[in-house]
Homo-oligomer: A and B are copies of this chain.
Amino acid sequence: MNNYFSIKDVDSIDTWVNEAIEIKKNPLSDKTLGADKTIGLLFFNPSLRTRLSTQKAALNLGMNVIVMNFTGEGWSLEYGDGAVMDQGNSEHVKEAAQVVSQYCDVLAIRAFAKLENRDDDYEEKVLKSFIKYTDIPVINMESATGHPLQALTDAITITENKPIHKPKIVLSWAPHPKALPQAVANSFVEMAQQMEADFVITHPVGFELASQITNEVPIDYNQENALKDADFVYVKNWSSYEEYGKTSQDQNWKITKEKMKLTNNAKFMHCLPVRRNVVIDDAVIDSDNSIVIEQANNRTYAAQLVLKKILETT
């Protein structure tokens, strides 16, 4: 595999999930695969799970890890072709990407949506520029519009917890005090369409995700109706795609214990971090049906599978 930019880079989600579950059983079975190989983790935004789980995955494979925070440790980058760089940005991504790729064998990059201009965000200029100007594999650690390591993690977690019957998966929007990107929801929607499942999205009017991502996935504007008989409730806030970056704190959409009673004893999932008692009630996340901690644990194995595939083919 070359880059892991999008969940679309997964050729078969079932195969990948099974491979990741094998890795999870014996995480050190490939501990020399990455010998003398170096991964550079480039952060343009904060990170906890991704930062630690990706490092752990690389260490499990015997790789060297170099972490670089572009906020504070390096130079602010320019992305515009032909830009006259007489303002705040000190270095063009053309140089930065080529240079960094010479010191590393694999790059992993986090660069959130700015939520200022939809076209800018959906152009994915940071990740795509690095991919364009490097000749080493690039892994997306959450870009402006996608979080495919999270989506692969979610597929693993659903598979581990799925009932015998074809599961019903509900992606539910939830309120949030701060405008958040659509990245996690986008990649989850792309992933879920590849799974054998009944998949429904529920959110308030005006919070539709991009139609090129949701495709034919049914949208139910009535959350309680959507939750009925669900086997998995995946909760996530995202800001509006249409009125780009607008958020809502409408507490009617918070996930409560009462709403979970409408489900088929559903497992509760969230990518974390989560705002307790805003996005979900304590009673839900602290219940036995919550699998958010195991979900976060699977981040390591998703990252390790992606790294393993890259190391085996480069």
- Residues of chain A touching chain B, judged by Cβ–Cβ distance below 8 Å, are 28, 31, 36, 38, 40, 43, 46-49, 51-53, 55-56, 59, 64, 66, 68-69, 71-75, 78, 82-87, 90-92, 94-96, 98-100, 102-104, 177, 249, 272-278, 282, 285-286, 292-293, 296-297, 300
Contacts and interface: CB of A to CB of B under 8 A. Distances in A.
Given A56-B38, A275-B85, A47 B73 contact: yes
A300 B99 CA distance: 11
A159 B78 CA distance: 31
B72 A69 contact: yes
Contacts of A52: 40, 66, 68, 100, 103-104
24 contacts: A38-B59, A40-B52, A46-B72, A46-B74, A47-B74, A48-B74, A48-B91, A52-B103, A55-B66, A59-B64, A71-B72, A72-B72, A75-B273, A82-B282, A83-B276, A84-B277, A84-B278, A86-B177, A86-B278, A91-B274, A94-B276, A95-B274, A95-B292, A96-B273
Nearest to A84: B277
Closest 9 pairs between A and B when the two form their complex, measured CB to CB:
A91-B273, A85-B275, A99-B296, A84-B277, A102-B297, A52-B103, A48-B74, A56-B103, A86-B177
A46 B73 contact: yes
Nearest to A53: B103
Nearest to A49: B99
Contact of A95 (B82, B98, B293): B293
A92 B278 CA distance: 12
Given A51-B68, A87-B177, 17 more contacts: A46-B75, A47-B74, A48-B99, A52-B100, A55-B103, A56-B103, A69-B72, A71-B72, A83-B277, A84-B277, A86-B278, A90-B273, A92-B276, A95-B272, A98-B296, A99-B272, A103-B300
